A and B are shown apart, each in its own frame.
Chain A
């Protein structure tokens, strides 16, 4: 394994600025790594659905020319990145992990993609995901699952398993993800990486193929807290093309991460969420979590237990609101303007074509959620299901508001378990949904969250994630606390957690 791919994005930025490496060299090293370990649907990590070697190297050469002329556009100019396949990329396929969009090449860039291109980050390729971001294991991808670099018989989390596995396997130093109910944070937890869901509206959703508009948020997927802060500052900010974009200046994340890494959390009030523990929570996960809470105390934080009583209803609320929104959003896949068209025999009507196409193009989980949403929105059931869920959503936001009157941040394990074996929960949707128990409340209330590695569970030696949640627009607190935890644990372990991951063999 080339040494350059083990560098963090911040280290690569320094090396590029000092002229000690070139973007072409860095980009090629990552492309070589992808060629060696990524494999395909049958074997290997399979983090990528599409690799753009030629495009990435061309962008890298342009970056090197800019650096040579003293015209670097951004600190991260020349540092390569992977992009989740749910973000529109002009000239690169965007499938959302679905057969219905196989081969679709968007005619425009998502705002976040435009920003990373403008800053000069070469795009290595598009990463695998559960179909239309519906899932917690990346097994619902129509193109085959991604495998966890820690154990290739296990799930990498989802829906953004591809982005998380790509950074965990050193195939990319940075990646973009999206988080609707935990799709950045839970993959981060189970792959020993860092993932951030920004405040709702903090990062533009323009060009993000919507799963659930009121829940979706784009965010950074990285190996370190500082790298997430750097990427977050780059992609964040107001976008007139997104009507839910928050018109408030974004920033201070890098500064907060550097301050946190110094290790002083005195004066910080931390709340441990009482409801996110108990039956179904793996002992090894709870043990690493409790140790990390103790660590916060050692760093000077004042820790109390807080109750968010409505959180126990968050999963049911989410699995009504999300299907309702997605059944409406996915109505646009109608076989008329783009994507798959399946034409039954004879002289079928547009409606018959639509039905045949959606049957052939959507996988089981997408069909389940569309039908649940259709049911929850139908007259006679609307008040009992969707209407009630919207009210409980208010109560969950109130729980957060009450908690944040007494504490600065809330903490919990990111996911109730470590990575489970591929196939374990594929036909048991409810068991799969339980993976997101701890991450969902933040999406419902629009508050930001981060997952940072907390160590390995004793029973299986697999990564555990520590989640920090902050009030809306206080994303800087995630970076302060996340960086403090990361710095203290890394020094305790004698190195980053990924140094303990098994060496990856190339695909068979």
Chain B
């Protein structure tokens, strides 16, 4: 499998919403390649006939009665918020400059 370029690592960081500076890119990009090279060893280990496992135990959907149960108060839910306004999470502007 191919090596990641520095630009590709920058793109991944962008997708993962992490603002890496140049020094971090220089530091992390080669390490990611070493890891990817190692994990690529599983290529071809399992044939097409092997089903994938997403969970170690079989899962079934879990239901409960549709009744009101105790839950967090608004104050509790907001207790860790960086900013609160009118009992709501206050967030930075969500539209970009071009919208």
Contacts and interface: CB of A to CB of B under 8 A. Distances in A.
Interface string B41-60: 11101100011111111010
Nearest to A434: B38
Interface residues of B, number: 57
B91 to A, nearest CB: 5
B57 A246 contact: yes
B79 to A, nearest CB: 5
- Interface residue SS majority, chain B: loop
B51 A384 contact: no
A354 B17 contact: yes
Contact of A378 (B15, B27, B50): B15
A319 interface: yes
Given A336-B91, A339-B80, A389 B42 contact: yes
Interface in B1-44: 1, 4, 9, 12-21, 24, 27-28, 31-32, 34-36, 38-43
A404 interface: no
A469 interface: no
A316 interface: yes
B45 A392 contact: yes
A352 B94 CA distance: 10
B55 to A, nearest CB: 5
B16 A327 contact: yes
A362 interface: yes
Given A107-B77, A338-B80, A244 B18 contact: no
A346 to B, nearest CB: 11
Which of A244, A391, A444: most chain B CB closer than 10 A? A391
Contact of B80 (A310, A337, A388, A429): A337
A335 B45 contact: no
A390 B55 CA distance: 9
B26 to A, nearest CB: 12
A387 interface: yes
A372 B28 CA distance: 11
Contacts of A493: none
Contacts of A126: none
A368 B32 contact: yes
Interface string A359-378: 10010100110111011001
Interface stretch (A139-147, A152-160, A393-401, A499-507): A393-401
Nearest to B37: A430
Given A349-B93, A397-B53, A359 B18 contact: yes
Interface of B: 1, 4, 9, 12-21, 24, 27-28, 31-32, 34-36, 38-43, 45-46, 50-57, 59, 61-62, 64, 72, 76-77, 79-83, 89, 91-97
12 contacts: A243-B61, A244-B59, A246-B57, A331-B17, A337-B89, A368-B32, A371-B18, A372-B32, A390-B53, A392-B46, A394-B53, A472-B56
Interface of A: 104-108, 200-201, 214, 240, 243-244, 246, 310, 313, 315-317, 319-320, 327, 331, 334-341, 343, 347-356, 358-359, 362, 364, 367-368, 370-372, 374-375, 378, 384-385, 387-395, 397, 427, 429-430, 433, 443-447, 472
